[in-house]
Amino acid sequence: MSMNKRIFVQDIVNENMEVDDLFIVTKKVMLSTKNNTKYISVELRDRTGTIEGKIWDRADEITPLFDKNDVVSVKGRMKIYLDKPQLNINEIRRVEEGISFDVLRAFFPEGGDGIESLKNEYFQLVEDIEDQYLGSLFSSLAERDDLLERFFFLPASINVHHVYIGGLLEHTVSVAKMGSAVSKIIGADRDIIVAGALLHDIGKVEEIEVKGGFKHSDRGRLMGHITLGIIILEELIRGIEDFPPSMADMLSHIIVSHHGIEEWGSPKRPMSIEALVVHYLDNLDARVMGAKEYMKENMVDEKWTEYHRVYETRFYKIPER
């Protein structure tokens, strides 16, 4: 079938509407009816929202054909169940063909400011770096289209924070902007903070892969984005003549320590003012945006969310004034 998406979740509004299009599977569960007949319950999404789907027939035969996070081709008919639209699915299969970043834009929301605006902010932060060696480092990165294309497109995480197209870029720019401001207040090396902030999650371009949806790559699972970030940094520095070893060590330390403690994935705690700044601002931005994103779809009532298993708490939404 065509890889150009035509029917979006927001368009599925009329009962008995025939649907034949692509979606991403966000939930998949095998269940049984009262008569002990197996069926599959799924949640499908695109950039406009989610819709529940049911596969009532041939559950054992169909379940190997797709998994959670796959882009799938779906044929079915919309029914209203408990006042909500639901797809009765007749056919569903994983899309095996390679999917370009442009096609994937149909399935994921983008950040509020848009990627082009964020890219402009990123390049301005790079331009404002005064140190010549750090400037050369980001010039080397700019020549790596294979890295930058993914860096500008990928989410910052799979399911915790900034889970949308451009999320990694938005998170990175946010940490760098806050770091630039904080450096003036506390008296720290602005260039090191900004450079470290812009590079702290660079390993995620290798950790996260695009196969159907966003997933952790084998390489990402085996090494993690911190180790992969160090590898990328060393590759970039290797081509820069006389790059100061002490500066390379400081940037490496920021990447290694930005999660703060070993339980969160960092083999070293932050040991410099600049590393402390990047760590705490990274944590602040990730947690605040994670909470905001969770509030969008997980409110129990007007004030409280459901329990967040990762953050181990509920969130309270201050009433609008």
d(CA 160, CA 173): 18
Q: Domain range for residue 172?
A: 108-296
Res 160: pLDDT: 65
Residues 232 and 273 in one domain: yes
E strands, 33-102, are 38-46, 49-55, 71-81, 84-94
Res 213: pLDDT: 67
pTM > 0.85: yes or no: no
Element (H, E) at 22: strand 18-32
The CATH number that applies at residue 31 is: 2.40.50.140
Residues 70 and 117 in one domain: no
Residues 146 and 287 in one domain: yes
Overall residue count recorded for the chain in this entry? 321
Residues 50 and 129 in one domain: no
Give the chain's domain count. 2
Q: Is residue 315 part of a domain?
A: no
Tens digit of each residue's pLDDT, the chain (321 residues) = 557 789 999 999 999 999 999 999 989 999 999 989 999 999 998 989 899 999 999 999 999 999 988 889 999 999 999 889 999 999 999 987 767 777 788 888 777 678 899 999 999 999 999 999 999 999 999 999 989 999 999 988 777 667 788 999 999 999 999 999 999 999 999 999 999 999 999 999 999 987 656 788 899 999 999 999 999 999 999 999 999 999 999 999 999 999 887 777 788 899 999 999 999 999 999 899 888 888 888 889 989 999 988 888 999 999 888
Burial 45-76 (b: 16+ CB within 10 A, else e): bbbeeebebbbeeebeebeeebeebbbbbbeb
